[in-house]
Chains A and B, each alone.
Chain A
Amino acid sequence: MMASSYKDEDGHITVSGSGAAAGGGGGSLRNKKPENTAFKQQRLPAWQPILTAGTVLPAFFIIGLMFIPIGIGLYVTSNNIKEFEVDYTGAEMSSPCFTCSQNFSWNSTKPCTCSVPFHLDQPYESNVFMYYGLSNFYQNHRRYVKSRDDSQLNGNEESLRKPSKECEPYAKQGNKPIAPCGAIANSMFNDSLELIYNDPNGSKVQIPLTATGIAWWTDKHVKFRNPGAENTNLTVAFQGTTRPVNWRRPVFQLDSDPDNNGFINEDFIVWMRTAALPTFRKLYRIIQRRSNVHPTLPCGNYTLEVVYNYPVRSFEGRKRMILSTISWMGGKNPFLGIAYISVGSVCFLLGVLLLIIHHKFGNRNNPAEISH
């Protein structure tokens, strides 16, 4: 008889009624009386808001009045940002890099160089950021995104010798493990870009480019670590590994500065942060402002000196160099400003429309609303 109360159907949760206890008689009366608490009687004190034209109206006006100025501010800021872009893919005959792009070979020992002249109409004040941009490059392809070994990059010795399976087919060459392994690392952008200012007086001035401070601090100091102890020679630390197939130099020769070499090379770290979209740009160098008197980049003629190592023609990609100043809201970004202005205006217009409806229909339908 006990057993009957534990019967349930097919895993459905069932509430077992207290039917079996009915025989209990008067004693169970008090037990059966439900507790008279606000929760159990569903009478908890509550705030009961209703969205009506009357209540939403002020909110719409407030949003409208807040968003439009913000949008205008953003738009103006964005327009004040100076940005210059030069495409040096070399796809067209007229392009100075045409030869380089045509004669590209992975095995060539002599690097191909080309110079792209350009002219800046306006002087660039304060710090200028130099980017390289790639188009039609699917850094967000699934096979590509996962083709890395974060524990190897974090300096793990075991992963260094035995890269993760995810790195295939860029995990091993022959018997030697590749460091850094994976498709991302293998395809690291390796054009080198130099900026020459053609002074009107005829001299050519090389613009000093800073290669550090371009990656996330946490990446450089926590996420990416070289293998071995703190001051070990990197050549020793990476012994037994081989460079990625498309690299010209091993990882421990990326930079002469020991704080920017190996896995913690900032160009490498920047590259390893896979882009969200197939057209992207990555920070390459920072042109520091040197004096308050002279602009960082005065207007005039410049030459971009490219060591052309990186092939993009095969997948119809483009390569660009971008110079940009920044503001408090980042780089040039008219979208946010325009979006703010539009949403703000829509809210404002809706507010007006609601006001009309509220007065015309609100009164007819709910006499309640007259009090407003």
Chain B
Amino acid sequence: MGMDFSTLRTLISRYCAGEENCVDTRTVYIGHKEPPPGAEAFIQQRFPDNRIVSSKYTFWNFIPKNMFEQFRRVANFYFLIIFLVQLIIDTPTSPVTSGLPLFFVIIVTAIKQGYEDWLRHKADKAVNQCLVQVVQHGKVSRKHSRKLTVGDVVYVKEDESFPCDLILLSSSRDDGTCYVTTASLDGESSHKTYHAIQDTKAYKTEEEVNYIHATIDCEQPQPDLYKFRGNINIYMGNEPVSRSLASQNLLLRGATLKNTEYIYGVAIYTGMETKMALNYQSKSQKRSAVEKSMNAFLVVYLCILISKAVINTALKYVWQADPNRDEPWYNGKTESERQRHVLIRAFTDFLAFMVLFNYIIPVSMYVTVEMQKFLGSYFIMWDDEMFDEELGERAVVNTSDLNEELGQVEYVFTDKTGTLTENNMEFIECCVDGNVYVPHIICNGQVMPGAAGIDMIDTSPGPEAREREELFFRALCLCHTVQVKEEETVDGIKHGIHQGKSSSFYISSSPDEVALVEGMKRLGFTYLRLKDGQMEILNREDEIERFELLEVLTFDSVRRRMSVIVRSSTGELYLFCKGADSSIFPRVVSGKMEQIKARVERNAVEGLRTLCVAYRRLSPEQYEQVCHLLTRAKLEFQDQDKLVAEAYDLIERDLILLGATAVEDRLQEKAADTIESLHKAGMKVWVLTGDKMETAAATCYASKLFRRSTQILELTTKRTEEQSLHDVLFELSRTVLRHYGSMPRDASSGLSSEYIDYGLIIDGATLSAVMRPSQEDSNSGNYKEIFLEICRNCSAVLCCRMAPLQKAQIVKMIKSSKEHPITLAIGDGANDVSMILEAHVGIGIMGKEGRQAVRNSDYAIPKFKHLKKMLLVHGHYYYIRISELVQYFFYKNVCFIFPQFLYQFFCGFSQQPLYDTAYLTLYNISFTSLPILLYSLMEQHINMDILKKEPTLYRDIAKNSLLTWPIFIYWTVLGVYDAIVMFFGAYFLFDNTTFTSNGQLMTTNTQMMFGNWTFGTLVFTVLVFTVTFKLALDTHYWTWINHFVIWGSLVFFVVFSLLWGGIIWPFLNYQRMYYVFMQMLSSGPAWLSIILLITASLLPDVVKKVFWRALWPTTTERIQAKRRRLASEPSTIFMLSQTSSRISF
């Protein structure tokens, strides 16, 4: 909905801004100067001001809007309706009973939201009022941020953040660059370089800036932080000059200027149109499986509620058919009641019954569930074992709605790079024309002094080869987007790098590049810096070589390569290209392809990441052509991406292969152990990677995803080239199914040693063939089914060569397959975001590839190994806890309401409540709420160390096994049984007519006169004790808090009852409870019957538990029993075991 609002807002603001603004581009006049006549029409467009409005409410609309939003939730609305019914018609219980809890909830939520909105208002105000410096008429003046308009030229100093989205005009640096950190936007704290427009970078003072005369055409605002297209027309020379603008020219609001003294920029997007504001939209809400079953149970209870009301209404009118029952002489109706139409009366009766029984769906359950989730999620954040010393990060919970879903995961989709592996790249070797070079000091990415030695594996090269070798090294030194991070002065950089000290280091969005550049440094070629468009390299002879950087053809995941065009100091033009072997080889015309290919494959099998390097010498004419192609592509707005890609495709061809590199990406610590545990826990682990098959497969073996015994099934392009996809699929499915057909049915659940597991490898191309919607024949729908069937029987699947969107597609496919398994996606990079959003649970790793995965995830953990505790311990606990919470809530309300239903049969279906109003109101709020809340926060049916040691325990709760219909029915039946015991126990105590053996009519009585309220109080007392003891019986982990809360709430009930009946309450118009509780307790039979009824109510559950445990124990119960044996005191009735704890609370 948040998204809807913002879209709507944008639409409205656009509409208000006028017709001309509805086009796809906007024109910005720098400094509000008109373009020279004839250049283009001067149309002053209207843009919103720079006011940021993040608050939802204003002072005036807070109450209606907030109420509206709250009552839009079905539960709240239901309770509101009940409340209104109670207000309007004459109902058995006072409106207070449902109004009080409802308004408590509503008001608490409203206060919370109001407070948050007040904070937002404050933040907005601070942001909108803050002063910014604007160049006006050649002078810098200050104005409020909110008054900033599009076209203003803004002056920003170091460490200030940008007040709106700006196009960088000039900076204090000579080369027109500036450094920016976008930590508050996407969490990446690294410094990024932005470039000023070439033609304006020389205008460095306010007077000079004032001379800039140009207009900017750019697209309308869009939320993608990393996309921007536009161009600038400069009217300062004789000819208007047009230049393209890209995201590297755009400074985003929220980012902070670093390492740069000041900049000038022109505002192009302001206020709510800035990219930051457009990114406010919230993610779509994910719902957990538990929530879904909870809603299903609710529907059942709603049906029960309605049918109870209908049955009672019907019976009431059958019973009342006799006028002497309807209105006996002692119980007359008022005149208005008599005159009411029978249908209206029936309807009011129906509503009254609804109100009487409405407690069966308690408001408090929603509150408790929300509280449990919210408070429970803190245990994840507090977990010491999920803290990573190295990163200084702990687990982050972005949504607490999915805690229990962590205990239900069936499929784990994991990214490889940065998730399974460390993404800490280490240069291993390079291969130039078949000669292999290995830097002999391997130092894990750290630059060590004297690292210039090279081990030649093959014969030393001749002079021609030497030239090619140096060209290869230069290519790697030049073909990248690495920046040198400067810690000190400009002199310090050169010094620092030269000395190999850590005072300066390389930064790049891709760790591979850093590894390569560092590897080159160890091989003798050091990249120094990029200055004034000149790349400086320190070669083996300690000479500085300069290359002019002409073009960068940036990396993208579709092309899987990048290129640079440079001009050497001698004037020669080179295109250097590096990329994945599959994207380089088809474009290569010469070079020692065979040897290099062999080497690349060998390295890939070892799990190394390989890149190929190629070059092409460009003649000046060719270069002209290239420039032409690029500029034309970049000037276009529509389909620019496509055109640029086409241009790149034309440029990067006829390459000469130089060599290949190999970089190792080590497995993350305990990755193998984690995967093994997940497997044992019954989860299927899929690795989805963009890497090539051999590398990925090697990683899979290393991480024990595939074991030696695993039979690998391949579904790759290579195979489908030989056979048709159809045949391959059928063959594989036969293999898998034949095996399973011969196995006993239940074998899959055990861990028998004969169990052959299959591993499947599929690549992106084949996958898209499988997934392709049917075109020629209707078989393709089948393909998907067959494919799923194969996958289902494989314990591990590796999908390689995947595009980010394909990752999400796979997740979606599994998610929507017929078992609807619960999926979890884990990844660290931007390419994993789509699958993180798609999966039921998305987990982000706080890796090196930025923060996007973390931002979009539901939970974020520092390392892959933390997934084990997250799922096996936290997930398991949360699932156990919340399922008990849900079932117990329904149970205790059945116990609560069913006696009231039974009572209707004895009070002429008159909707007489059994319990007093105070009891009706407080039952769910205070008498029975805290014990279950604490249970749902503290319960540990098994020690967490055992859960970690025995991953198979996770299978016990798979498939939502604690919230299945049989269990739900068991709880409900138990509730009904307890209700019957309590009600009829009290009933027989109060009144029964039986014929004893001597045929004499006998009736029982109690000594003093007990009325209907005593009857209700007796039932209620038994009820409160029974449901609390039931929870106590279910509690396996009694900390002092549990003791305090469970016994405390019983004591509270007794004290409250004594107090409630001990005083004539002046504000009440009835005194029906006066001394009722005390009188009851002063009677012997009441005590005896309370004890008896509690025992009788609890008996079946205890018996069931004990019998099931003895006859059909679950794995969990066996482990519990084993634990018990290990404890040293076997003679006590209950085992008292203290958790080993180094620290006391």
Binding site for B on A (CB under 8 A): 1-4, 6-15, 17-20, 22-23, 25-26, 28-29, 32-53, 55-56, 58-59, 63, 67, 70, 74, 78, 83, 85, 131, 133, 137-151, 154, 164, 166, 168-170, 183, 186-187, 214-216, 218-219, 222-223, 246, 270, 273-283, 311, 314-316, 322, 324, 326, 328-336, 339-340, 343, 346-347, 350, 354, 357-358, 361-362, 365-366, 368-369, 371-372
Contacts and interface: CB of A to CB of B under 8 A. Distances in A.
A222 B189 contact: no
B1136 A47 contact: yes
Interface in B33-57: 52, 54-55
Given A133-B1003, A335-B1004, A3 B123 contact: yes
B113 interface: yes
A4 B1002 contact: no
27 contacts: A3-B55, A3-B280, A11-B69, A29-B392, A34-B381, A34-B382, A40-B382, A42-B944, A45-B1138, A47-B1136, A48-B1139, A49-B1136, A50-B1036, A50-B1124, A55-B1134, A85-B1003, A141-B907, A144-B910, A150-B1069, A223-B1071, A276-B1012, A277-B906, A277-B1015, A315-B325, A332-B1002, A339-B988, A366-B1125
B1083 interface: yes
B353 to A, nearest CB: 11
Contacts of B1124: 50, 52, 368
A365 B1001 contact: no
A9 B985 CA distance: 49
Interface string B430-446: 00000000000000000
B466 interface: no
A70 B331 CA distance: 42
Interface string B382-400: 1110010000111011111
Interface string B985-1008: 101111111101000011111111
B228 interface: no
Interface string B178-190: 0001011101010
Nearest to B854: A19
B127 A1 contact: yes
A8 B116 contact: yes
Nearest to A277: B991
B335 interface: yes
A141 B913 CA distance: 10
A216 B333 CA distance: 30
A43 B1139 contact: yes
A63 B1098 CA distance: 13
A46 B1144 CA distance: 12
Nearest to A51: B1105
Contact of B1133 (A20, A55, A151): A55
B921 interface: no
A330 B1110 contact: no
Given A22-B187, A280-B991, A336-B989, A275 B1012 contact: yes
Contacts of B398: 14-15, 17, 19
A20 B1130 contact: no
Contacts of B325: 138, 315
B69 A10 contact: yes
Interface residues of B, number: 159
Interface in B1119-1137: 1120-1125, 1130, 1133-1137
B1033 interface: yes
Nearest to B55: A3
Given A43-B1141, A53-B1110, A335-B992, 4 more contacts: A44-B1139, A48-B1037, A183-B332, A246-B329
A1 B379 contact: no
A334 B184 CA distance: 77
Interface stretch (B651-659, B715-723, B1072-1080): B1072-1080
B119 A6 contact: yes
A327 B693 CA distance: 89
Given A20-B184, A46-B1038, A333 B1139 contact: no
Interface in B997-1055: 1001-1012, 1014-1016, 1033, 1036-1042
A281 B1003 contact: yes
B1006 A330 contact: yes
A36 B855 CA distance: 27
Closest 9 CB pairs of A and B: A23-B183, A3-B54, A187-B330, A368-B1125, A29-B392, A276-B1015, A49-B1134, A2-B123, A330-B1007
Contacts of B127: 1-3
A316 B1109 contact: no
B1102 interface: yes
A2 B1072 contact: no
A14 B399 contact: yes
B1004 A334 contact: yes
B972 interface: no
A164 to B, nearest CB: 6
B1041 A169 contact: no
B912 A324 contact: no
B383 A34 contact: yes
A22 B1088 CA distance: 63
Nearest to B73: A11
B1089 interface: yes
B1095 interface: yes
Contacts of A78: 1004
Interface stretch (B295-303, B369-377, B639-647, B702-710): B369-377
A330 B285 contact: no
B742 interface: no
